[in-house]
Each structure stands twice: as structure tokens, then as C-alpha cells.
């Protein structure tokens, strides 16, 4: 999730993970991470926007 500290496109994330099958990535990786609140959309009201990017909010263990 460190990689997604700055917003990344789905393609950038796939390349980083060395994945090539977009449907598998979306169904088995991206969607579960979004549903778990680990990744967030930069444009949540337009999930299929071509400008959509994803980012993680890393929790600071020292923040209360």
C-alpha cells in the first residue's frame, strides 16, 4: 500500500504488481481493497471515470 500513498491509476498499480489481466485485477484485487477501505477512489462519485485514481490512507501507528 506504500506504492499507493500517492494516487495511481489502475494500470500503474497493475504494472507495479506485474499483472496483465485487467478483469482479474479488478475483481480479485482492486474491488476487495476498495470494499475493505484499504484503497480509496479520487473520484468516488464516478467510479468508471477514465481519470480515476486510487490511493491508500496509511495509518500512522503513532496517531491516536
For the cut 80, the answer to whether the pLDDT of residue 58 exceeds it is no
Confidence of residue 19 (pLDDT cuts 50, 70, 90): very high
Pick from 5, 57, 58, 11: nearest CA to 30: 11
- Residue 51 has a pLDDT of 96
- Residue 63 has a pLDDT of 44
Q: Is residue 61 a part of any domain in this protein? A: no
Chain position carrying cell 473520484: 43
CA distances (Å), origin 19, targets 12, 22, 37, 43, 58: 10, 8, 22, 24, 23
Number of domains in the chain: 1
Q: Is residue 62 a part of any domain in this protein? A: no
Q: Is residue 42 a part of any domain in this protein? A: yes
Domain that holds residue 42: 2-56
Task: Calculate the average pLDDT of the chain.
Answer: 90
- Residue 1 has a pLDDT of 79
Q: Is residue 32 a part of any domain in this protein? A: yes
- Residue 59 has a pLDDT of 55
Q: Is residue 25 a part of any domain in this protein? A: yes
Q: Is residue 64 a part of any domain in this protein? A: no
Supply the DSSP symbol for 8. Answer: B
Amino acid at each position: 500500500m506504500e506504492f499507493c500513498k500517492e494516487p495511481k491509476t489502475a494500470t500503474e498499480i497493475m504494472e507495479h504488481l506485474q499483472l496483465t489481466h485487467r478483469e482479474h485485477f479488478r475483481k480479485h484485487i482492486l474491488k476487495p481493497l476498495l470494499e475493505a477501505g484499504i484503497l480509496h477512489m479520487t473520484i468516488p462519485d464516478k467510479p468508471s471515470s477514465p481519470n480515476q485514481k486510487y490511493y491508500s490512507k496509511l495509518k500512522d501507528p503513532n496517531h491516536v
